[in-house]
Amino acid sequence: MSSDRAQQNRGKDRAKIPGDFPAAPLTLEGYSILHQMFRVRRRELRTLESAKRDAAIDEASKMFGEMARREDGETALFSALGHKGDLMVVHFRRSFEELAQAEHALATLALSDYLEPTTSYLSVIEIGLYEATVALYRKLVEQEIGPHSPQWKSEIESEITRQREKISPRLFPKIPARPYLCFYPMDKKRDGADNWYRLPIEDRQRLMHDHGMVGRRFAGEVTQIISGSIGFDDWEWGVDLFADDPIVFKKLVYEMRFDEASASYAKFGPFYVGLRLEPSALGKLFSS
């Protein structure tokens, strides 16, 4: 028997997931993330006395240096390219409360008088458990365990706990030290026949598996962090790509455009690209 025929027969033997099962896959959440983009008000900055400007830069460099050395959620700076802004600040924190503290600390800097916010993005690191969800749901169907029953809830909680222990480092990572960052938000389409949210969970699991296999081919060249923003911001997910060579951003995103999950169901927002900026080098961005 051919491998394709064997796979088809195995598929027939699998329990079909009923429509009354939850449509959304299980997810794990980690660090809260805030991206802040600013434009430097260079005209106003040029009118500032050099001593005051240097003092403001030193104050900001010190604060960002302390944030960069945090052990449990840090901050990184990037010099943004293009008209969308000059400075991109990325905060990883344990909670929204800690993000608010970081945002407030930045706002109290003397240098903030010369930073014009252009946009921001709020999200939470998210790992979607499509594979584990479909496997668990099929097991529950076979065991005739209905959704939201006490036994159902126990099985779900056990799976969540097992998965969290397995992949905890991916939920609370360090901000990759690679020199280039590409950030963009994205949605899944809800347009007529191209409606991601009308697909059965098994179909979405297959598409996401194939989508992930494309990304894995770039594993040594790029570090990817996916964050969920449904209910938090204007798009549904945020994508951070970190690399040593920015050309990999073009190659990865281009190749993924041909993947079915992207070609049929993905909508991309604006792209932001930046170069890593050490806090001690902040003065270079504000040189007039």
Catalytic site positions: 184
- Give the type of residue at 159: E
Task: Give the tokens for residue 47.
Answer: 């009118």
52: alpha, beta or left? (left if phi > 0; alpha if psi -120 to 50)? alpha
Q: Are 269 and 184 in contact (CB under 8 A)?
A: yes
Assess contact for 96 and 32: CB atoms under 8 A: yes
Residue 217 phi/psi, 5° resolution?
A: -70, -15
DSSP letters spanning 23-89: SSPPEEEEEEEEEEEEEE-HHHHHTS-HHHHHHHHHHHHHHHHHHHT-SSS-EEEEEE-STT-SEEE
Size of the chain in residues? 288
Phi, then psi, of 36 in degrees rounded to 5: -120, 130
Query: Taken in order 86, 92, 98, 99, is the CA torsion positive or negative?
Result: positive
Cα–Cα distance measured from residue 238 to residue 231, given in angstroms and rounded to the nearest whole number: 13
Per DSSP (E only), the strands in the chain are 27-40, 75-80, 87-93, 115-128, 180-188, 190-191, 194-195, 222-228, 237-243, 266-268, 272-277
What is the torsion angle, in degrees rounded to the nearest 10, for the CA atoms of residue 86, residue 281, residue 180 and residue 66?
Answer: -100
